[in-house]
């Protein structure tokens, strides 16, 4: 990322650099940037799932900016490739006898009582898993090196299968990578991308490490093609007033909440599988802090899914997660995702019970009210209830088709044999999808020992504000915050994200009464040298901040707690263990398992984020459809009949730019803006605070 701020230039300083953050979602592609006057601006266009780069270039061609453009990108390519299983033909090379570890996994049943549950098939089939005779001891001693003849035979057998990428994961390679390097050298002539476990995840637990390196290998050719295609389009097809320059510079959001260079993202795409949602958590935390709320539950409801995450002060990462049923061991923000979004499809199951999602109408054909869909969605339900205003969608630049929605939904209900009225059906859809999202919030709060009453709910995404108040009431959450630019907050989070690189190493050290300070200093020093080398190779400049942490457990336990490294680590572990599990063992031996280092180059805050809403501008949309009314910021408040809990209320309709800072407004009310709509139920009150956030009490 090339910034015009001092201390963050990865290449020699050039004048008039212009940053645009773009988040590709299932329905919309969101763009956020600052113009020449420092104002935040926003653009939403319909996504192009077949080729996401098409929507990006289309959006960039509509942006009027001065100087050399730098693109910061949050992408769902990795996630969608995993979900759709459309990755590369991948071969796995591992220690002989461990070829099936990837398939055996942890033998944990995700659904304990579901006798018809089908396990997720591994990404590498049995005929593409190759074992080789070698062995490294747990302490790093090479017990058996691969023989030259075996390496030659391996290369021949692998080549015969014509893989598109290779994953290498040997037993205990994190302790000594010598054998992995020898195998990588032997397979290098095959000319396909290599993913090597000690480089991607030098940690113990061979299943998780192997799964992670396989995912990286599975995604690598796909991500490389996508980023190369984007770079080519970015260089050759871009029109308008922004110059892409001779050397296009594209930077990618990681799942850990920081950006990285394009080459690094192409080399380790496993770090980008939650790229877009991570930007939303970063943006939500930043906006909530500006309003004095350090403890939040981020609630991002988009077109196809809802992402929720709990933040207590600083954003933290989890060292292991599961995505699409696969174990991922690289640092990721702790985000829980459910298939509930504005485009989620409604249906009746075989028993006649109303279901919503996880299937989605996506960007094509989209909801009925967009003009092409034929099956009702959550967006259609909100329109039928009056919560979405047809002429104020996307700032009035795209008119929702209410008549078409009524007609097609009524016909669809008849086909389903349902006698429900449109209003009762729409209310039922909203209740069902709310129940799904409420359960997701419980997963990241109550199920982890957190009381949601101690947090504020930060609602964003295009549909977040429509459902946030109902969810907050169900969970007794006292405050709902709808930040500025809610429908593009993930892109805004990407715009303000730091440059981040994560490193780790498993050590398995015992500690009784004191920490092994000398050994810790030595190992963290080695990780810091590696970080300095990586920053130097990518030409980043500026002060690098190091955040050290340790995975720690009682000896004999199977899982660890991650805590910041301080002089009082052992005592703090006892306290955290007691808080998390309700007990501790002060006399029991402790084990330091994995050392973790996060290297960060800070991105300065953008002054424009805290500007008044009437100083924030947008530039229309590329969405097809009938033109709507423009210049809604000049319109006086209106009223409409809106259904709440089965009863119609005469409801005030406000345009967000017209709300006065500090003034209290009372529900029922609907606040519309370019990127989202916020519903304030009867009995609630809302105001715009000093940080330009909507706060509902």
670, two tokens? 């609907």
Cβ neighbours of residue 569 under 8 Å, at least 6 residues apart?
A: 515, 550, 552, 563
- Asked if residue 298 lies in contact with residue 309, where contact means CB atoms within 8 angstroms, the answer is yes
Going from N- to C-terminal start, the domains of the chain cover: 89-192, 499-601
Give the C-alpha separation, 592 to 306, whole Å.
Answer: 36
Quickly tell me which residue has 């089939």 as its tokens. 125
- List beta partners, residue 457: 297, 480
Residue 416 burial (CB count, 10 A): 15
Give the burial class of 322: count Cβ atoms within 10 A of its Cβ; 0-12 exposed, 13-18 middle, 19 or more buried: exposed
Count the residues in the chain: 697
At 454, give phi and psi (nearest 5°). -90, 5
| Residue 167 CA neighbour count, 13 Å, CB half | 31
Specify the pLDDT at position 9: 47
Specify the pLDDT at position 660: 93
Cα-based angle 589, 562, 140 (whole degrees, multiple of 5): 65
- Asked if residue 640 lies in contact with residue 670, where contact means CB atoms within 8 angstroms, the answer is yes
Strand ranges (E), 398-539: 456-460, 479-482, 499-511
Specify the pLDDT at position 17: 59
At 400, give phi and psi (nearest 5°). -75, 140
Q: Read off the DSSP letter of residue 527.
A: H
Residue whose C-alpha is closest to residue 272's, from 24, 10, 473? 24
Give the C-alpha separation, 231 to 221, whole Å.
Answer: 15
Give the C-alpha separation, 326 to 82, whole Å.
Answer: 9
437: alpha, beta or left? (left if phi > 0; alpha if psi -120 to 50): alpha
Give the C-alpha separation, 444 to 316, whole Å.
Answer: 13
Q: What share of the chain is helix, strand, coil (3-state, %, to 5)?
A: 35, 25, 40
Choices 3.30.379, 3.30.70, 3.30.310, 3.30.1490: CATH for 499-601: 3.30.1490
Give the C-alpha separation, 145 to 180, whole Å.
Answer: 10
Give the C-alpha separation, 623 to 89, whole Å.
Answer: 36
Residue whose C-alpha is closest to residue 625's, from 27, 29, 46, 24? 46
- Asked if residue 3 lies in contact with residue 603, where contact means CB atoms within 8 angstroms, the answer is yes
Kindly state the helix (H) or strand (E) to which residue 442 belongs, with its residue range.
helix 422-444
The edge-to-edge listing of strands for the beta sheet with 677-680 is: 638-644, 647-655, 669-672, 677-680
Helix 206-236 / helix 52-61 crossing angle, nearest 10 deg: 40
Cα-based angle 593, 599, 604 (whole degrees, multiple of 5): 145
Cβ neighbours of residue 672 under 8 Å, at least 6 residues apart?
A: 389, 392, 632, 653, 654, 655, 656, 678
562, two tokens? 């991650």
- Asked if residue 459 lies in contact with residue 472, where contact means CB atoms within 8 angstroms, the answer is no
Specify the pLDDT at position 83: 77
Give the C-alpha separation, 549 to 566, whole Å.
Answer: 8
Residue 583 burial (CB count, 10 A): 7
For the chain, which ranges sit under pLDDT 50? 1-15, 239-246, 608-634
Give the C-alpha separation, 437 to 344, whole Å.
Answer: 12
Specify the pLDDT at position 664: 94
Helix 148-160 / helix 178-187 crossing angle, nearest 10 deg: 50
- Asked if residue 132 lies in contact with residue 171, where contact means CB atoms within 8 angstroms, the answer is no
Residue 664 burial (CB count, 10 A): 10
292, two tokens? 């004095």
- Asked if residue 176 lies in contact with residue 287, where contact means CB atoms within 8 angstroms, the answer is no
87, two tokens? 């990755």
393, two tokens? 């969608």
DSSP string, 185-251: HHHGGG-S-EEEHHHH---S-HHHHHHHHHHHHHHHHHHHHHHHHHHHHHHHT--SS-B--SS-EEE
Cβ neighbours of residue 511 under 8 Å, at least 6 residues apart?
A: 570, 589, 590, 591, 592
First-to-last alpha carbon distance for the chain, in angstroms, is 39
Q: Where are the alpha helices (DSSP H) in 247-321?
A: 262-267, 275-290
Give the C-alpha separation, 29 to 52, whole Å.
Answer: 9
Specify the pLDDT at position 612: 38
Give the burial class of 274: count Cβ atoms within 10 A of its Cβ; 0-12 exposed, 13-18 middle, 19 or more buried: buried
Specify the pLDDT at position 109: 75
- Asked if residue 176 lies in contact with residue 141, where contact means CB atoms within 8 angstroms, the answer is yes
């Amino acid at each position: 990322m090339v910034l015009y701020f001092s201390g963050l230039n990865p290449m020699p300083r050039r004048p008039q650099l212009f940053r645009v953050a773009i988040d590709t979602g299932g329905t919309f592609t969101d763009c956020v940037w600052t113009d020449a006057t420092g104002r935040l601006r926003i653009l939403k266009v319909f996504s192009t799932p077949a080729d996401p780069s098409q929507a990006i270039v289309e959006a960039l061609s509509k942006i009027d900016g001065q100087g050399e453009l730098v693109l910061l990108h949050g992408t769902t390519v990795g996630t969608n490739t995993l979900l759709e299983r459309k990755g590369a033909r991948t071969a796995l090379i591992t220690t002989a006898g461990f070829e099936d570890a990837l398939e055996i996994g942890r033998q944990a049943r995700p659904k304990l009582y579901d006798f018809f549950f089908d396990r997720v098939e591994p990404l590498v089939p049995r005929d593409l898993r190759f074992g080789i005779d070698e062995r490294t001891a747990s302490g790093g001693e090479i017990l058996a090196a691969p023989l030259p003849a075996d390496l030659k035979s391996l290369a021949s057998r692998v080549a015969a299968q014509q893989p598109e990428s290779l994953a290498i994961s040997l037993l205990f390679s994190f302790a000594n990578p010598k054998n992995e390097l020898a195998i990588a050298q032997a397979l290098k002539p095959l000319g396909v991308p290599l993913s090597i476990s000690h480089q991607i995840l030098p940690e113990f637990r061979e299943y998780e490490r192997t799964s992670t390196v396989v995912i990286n290998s599975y995604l690598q050719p796909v991500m490389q093609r996508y980023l190369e295609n984007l770079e080519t389009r970015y260089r050759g097809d871009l029109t308008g007033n922004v110059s892409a320059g001779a050397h296009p510079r594209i930077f990618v959001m990681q799942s850990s909440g920081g950006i990285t260079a394009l080459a690094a993202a192409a080399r380790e795409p496993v770090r980008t599988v939650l790229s877009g949602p991570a930007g939303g958590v970063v943006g939500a935390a930043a906006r909530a802090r500006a309003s004095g709320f350090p403890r939040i539950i981020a609630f991002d409801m988009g077109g196809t899914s809802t992402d929720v995450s709990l933040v207590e002060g600083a954003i933290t990462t989890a060292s292991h997660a599961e995505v699409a049923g696969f174990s991922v061991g690289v640092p990721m923000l702790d985000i829980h995702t459910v298939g509930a979004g504005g485009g989620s499809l409604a249906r009746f199951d075989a028993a006649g019970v109303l279901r919503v999602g996880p299937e989605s109408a996506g960007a094509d054909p989209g909801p009925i009210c967009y003009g092409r869909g034929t099956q009702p969605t959550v967006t259609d339900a909100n329109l039928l209830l009056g919560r979405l205003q047809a002429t104020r969608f996307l700032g009035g630049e795209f008119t929702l088709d209410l008549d078409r929605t009524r007609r097609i939904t009524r016909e669809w209900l008849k086909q389903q044999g349902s006698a429900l009225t449109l209003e009762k059906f729409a209310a039922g859809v909203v209740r069902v999808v709310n129940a799904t999202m409420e359960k997701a919030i419980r997963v990241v709060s109550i199920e982890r020992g957190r009381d949601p009453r101690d947090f504020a709910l930060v609602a964003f995404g295009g549909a977040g504000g429509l459902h946030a108040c109902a969810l907050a009431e169900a969970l007794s959450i006292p405050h709902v915050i709808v930040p500025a630019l809610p429908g593009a907050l993930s892109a805004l989070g990407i715009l303000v994200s730091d440059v981040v690189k994560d490193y780790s190493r498993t050590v398995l050290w015992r500690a009784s009464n004191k920490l092994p300070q000398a050994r810790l200093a030595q190992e963290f020093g080695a990780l810091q040298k590696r970080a300095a080398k990586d920053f130097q190779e990518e030409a980043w400049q500026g002060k690098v901040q190091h955040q050290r942490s340790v995975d720690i457990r009682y000896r004999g336990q199977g899982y660890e707690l991650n805590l910041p490294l301080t002089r009082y680590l052992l005592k703090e572990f006892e306290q955290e263990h007691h808080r998390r599990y309700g007990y501790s063992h002060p006399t029991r031996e402790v084990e330091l398992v994995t050392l973790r280092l996060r290297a960060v180059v800070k991105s300065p805050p953008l002054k424009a984020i805290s500007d008044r809403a009437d100083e924030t501008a947008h530039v229309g949309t590329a969405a097809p459809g009938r033109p709507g009314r423009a210049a809604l910021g000049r319109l006086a408040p209106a009223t409409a009949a809106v259904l709440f809990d089965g009863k119609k209320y005469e409801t005030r309709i406000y345009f967000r730019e017209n709300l006065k800072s500090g003034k209290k407004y009372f529900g029922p009310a609907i606040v519309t803006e370019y990127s989202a709509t916020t519903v304030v139920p009867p009995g609630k009150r809302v105001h715009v605070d000093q940080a330009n956030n909507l706060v509902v009490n």
